[in-house]
Structure formats: C-alpha cells, structure tokens
Amino acid sequence: MTLPRFDALCIGNAICDVFAHVEEDFLVAENLIKGSMRLIDTEEAVRLYAKMGQTTRISGGSAGNTAAGIAQLGGASAYFGKIAEDELGTAYRHDMTGTGVAFDTPALTDGPPTARSMILITPDGERTMNTYLGACVELSPDDIDADQVAASAITYMEGYLWDPPGAKEAFLKAAEIAHAHKRKVSLTLSDSFCVDRYRSEFLGMMRDGTIDVLFANEHELKALYETADLDTAIDSVRKDCALTALTMGENGAMAIGRENTVHVAAEKVEDVVDLTGAGDLFAAGFLLGLSRDYDHAMSAELGCLCAAEVIRHVGARPERSLRQVAEQQGFAL
C-alpha cells in the first residue's frame, strides 16, 4: 500500500449557494421546514428566487465545502462533482482549484445548468435550503477517477448523492475501489429528510462494511434509527459502524467507536450568523485528523474549530485561513 497523495477525496453534488436573509414569517408563509433541505424543480426555483431579496452567491455543496476546508487547513484534498459549463460552474471550479482542491470532473456541456441552492437564513442563524440539482443529475460512475480514489486515505461521500439517479452507482464504485486499495470510506447522512428517503440503503451500507466512518448530527442519527432518544440511537450506531462522528451544535461533538466514546466541547461562538456548512467543516477537520493519525478527540477538536469559523459569517466556505486558526490553537498541520 503506497502512501496516499490526498488526505481525503470528497464526492458530492456541486452546488452554488444563493443566500438571502429572511424573517421567520417567510418560512411560515412558504410552508418550509426550518433547517431542512428540500429538492425543487426549475419552476419552483424561479418562483422562490423572485420572492428573495438581496442575495450572496458562494460556491457550496456539502462535500465540496469539506474538500475546500481540508485544503484550507493545509491538507491535500480532491473532489468529484458535476458542474455545467456556465458562469456558476466556472466560478465553482475556480473556487475549488483556487483553494488548492484537485477538481477534474469534466463539466457537462449539453444539459441542465449548474446546480444552485437557495438558502434562507433566519435571524437565529439557521438555514433552510431549496436545491435545484441541475447538472448534478448527470454525475455517473464514469466520473469516478480510480487513480484519485486509490490515492486518497479516505473517500468521503454525501448521503445527498442518493438523490440524483446515477450518483449512487458512482458512490458504490468509488467505495469498491477505495476498499480494494485498503483505503477508508466515509458517508455523511446529510439531512434527516435524506435519511428518511434512503434509510434502508444507508443502514445496509453501514452493516455490510461499505462505510467505515459515519458522520451525522443528532437529528439525522435519531431519524436513522427512528427513535426520539439519542442514547438509543448511539447504542445502535455503535453496533452498525466502526466509527461515528456525531455533531451536536453548541454541545460539541462525539466520536463513537465500538468500545469507547469521546466527547469534545464546541468552540464558543457569540454571534452565530449562518449555520450553513457547520457539519461540512466539522467533517473537514475530523477527516484531516483521521488521515494524519490524530486520536479521535483531537480530530473532533479540529472539526469543532473549523465549524466555529464558518458559522461566524454567511457561506459555507471559510473566510480565514483555517490553517492559521488551527495553528493558533496548537495544532501542527
């Protein structure tokens, strides 16, 4: 087994985030579930956009945010995701490669435009996402570059990949290649509604050993096991997966192994501006820690540090050098 060239390869839906601040009333009037992600079609995208005020556009996509976070920590990351050859797609590729992420998935030349998610930020900093998948529906097994998978310590994938038709196959192909090269495979559950859509598939992959490392927040883990009791869900996931990184917002995070569990505190953040990307950036820190053989507590601490940076401003991509932030806290990256 050769040394990996990449700390992590991230695979996900390549999405441009379109942010707008709204009042709580807006969510009520639109009948939206705060904190969730829903899929919308072109018509609904046009209708909703027309109701939004001033917007900020920043490249996003869950696994894309994680890849960018790892690069900004000074790690080596790669990304697979489908953009179109349009302005949003061009900006997406620029933002990834400009941050140092290896991103070579060919752009779609004839098909739907680059995906966008209209993200409504309420005054409490919570985000509610409305995603038009666009070009993402064309991600296919052909987009899985086996050499990059083989060269990555961990291949990390979104549960959201179950939404577009061909991406699931791409996910499974990547997992197979990774394991054939003795690399690890990781899944984030993405969203509790996503868990509802694909519960049996996700549990199946955990139980058959496809998934080595699971990422989830409390809502998602409880949704996975259809229980309102977090401890019950934790007991269950301990049996189903070798390692689970559980994020708990202001209560920090846990790393749940077969034998023991560690809990780390969250960074204290006075003014939460926008929670978008908190989980993705936690994953960036945790994955880099795993790749660098940090223990679980230290990996989770690095994750919490990254999450704290990204919730202080609009957008799921770090505004400051995460490497500097981490080094100030004593991490030698």
CA–CA dist 210, 221 (Å, integer): 18
CA–CA dist 278, 18 (Å, integer): 17
Q: Which of residues 35 and 100 has its CB atom nearest to a copy of itself in the complex?
A: 100
Q: Which stretch binds a copy of itself (CB under 8 A): 6-14, 164-172, 241-249, 307-315?
A: 307-315
**x/- string (CB under 8 A) for a copy of itself, residues 243-282?**
------------------------------x---------
Q: Which of residues 91 and 146 has its CB atom nearest to a copy of itself in the complex?
A: 91
Query: Shortest gap between Cβ of 320 and a copy of itself (angstroms)?
Result: 7
Residue for token pair 């189903």: 240
Q: Does 88 bind a copy of itself (CB under 8 A)?
A: yes
CA–CA dist 37, 148 (Å, integer): 30
Of 179, 188, 187, nearest to 150 (Cα)? 179
Q: Which of residues 59 and 155 has its CB atom nearest to a copy of itself in the complex?
A: 59
Q: Which stretch binds a copy of itself (CB under 8 A): 7-15, 83-91, 140-148, 293-301?
A: 83-91
Q: Does 99 bind a copy of itself (CB under 8 A)?
A: yes
Q: Among residues 47, 94, 207, 258, which is the contact residue for a copy of itself, using CB under 8 A?
A: 94
Q: Does 52 bind a copy of itself (CB under 8 A)?
A: yes
Q: Does 34 bind a copy of itself (CB under 8 A)?
A: no
- Give CA 312 to chain center in angstroms: 18
Query: Shortest gap between Cβ of 55 and a copy of itself (angstroms)?
Result: 6
Residue for token pair 């790669």: 78
Q: Which of residues 233 and 314 has its CB atom nearest to a copy of itself in the complex?
A: 314
Given a contact cutoff of 8 angstroms between Cβ atoms, the answer to whether 296 and 257 are in contact is: yes
Q: Which stretch binds a copy of itself (CB under 8 A): 95-103, 168-176, 213-221, 243-251?
A: 95-103
Polymer length in residues for the chain: 333
Q: Does 91 bind a copy of itself (CB under 8 A)?
A: yes
Q: Among residues 21, 173, 199, 238, which is the contact residue for a copy of itself, using CB under 8 A?
A: 21
Q: Which of residues 54 and 260 has its CB atom nearest to a copy of itself in the complex?
A: 54
Q: Which stretch binds a copy of itself (CB under 8 A): 84-92, 177-185, 221-229, 249-257?
A: 84-92
Q: Does 57 bind a copy of itself (CB under 8 A)?
A: yes
Q: Among residues 83, 246, 314, 326, which is the contact residue for a copy of itself, using CB under 8 A?
A: 314
Q: Which of residues 121 and 298 has its CB atom nearest to a copy of itself in the complex?
A: 121
Query: Shortest gap between Cβ of 269 and a copy of itself (angstroms)?
Result: 13
HEC profile for the chain?
Answer: CCCCCEEEEEECCCEEEEEEECCHHHHHHHCCCCCCEEECCHHHHHHHHHHCCCCEEEECCHHHHHHHHHHHCCCCEEEECCCECCHHHHHHHHHHHHHCCEECCCCECCCCCCEEEEEEECCCCCEEEEEECHHHHHCCHHHCCHHHHHCEEEEEEEHHHHCCCCHHHHHHHHHHHHHHCCCEEEEECCCHHHHHHHHHHHHHHHHCCCCCEEEEEHHHHHHHCCCCCHHHHHHHHHHHCCEEEEECHHHCEEEEECCCEEEECCCCCCCCCCCCCHHHHHHHHHHHHHHCCCCHHHHHHHHHHHHHHHCCCCCCCCCCCHHHHHHHCCCCC
Q: Does 58 bind a copy of itself (CB under 8 A)?
A: yes
Query: Shortest gap between Cβ of 106 and a copy of itself (angstroms)?
Result: 20
Q: Does 68 bind a copy of itself (CB under 8 A)?
A: yes
- Extract long-range pairs of 225-231: CB within 8 Å, 24+ residues apart: 226/199
Site residues, a copy of itself (CB under 8 A) = 20-21, 49-50, 52-59, 68, 72, 86-88, 91, 94-95, 98-99, 273, 313-315, 317-320
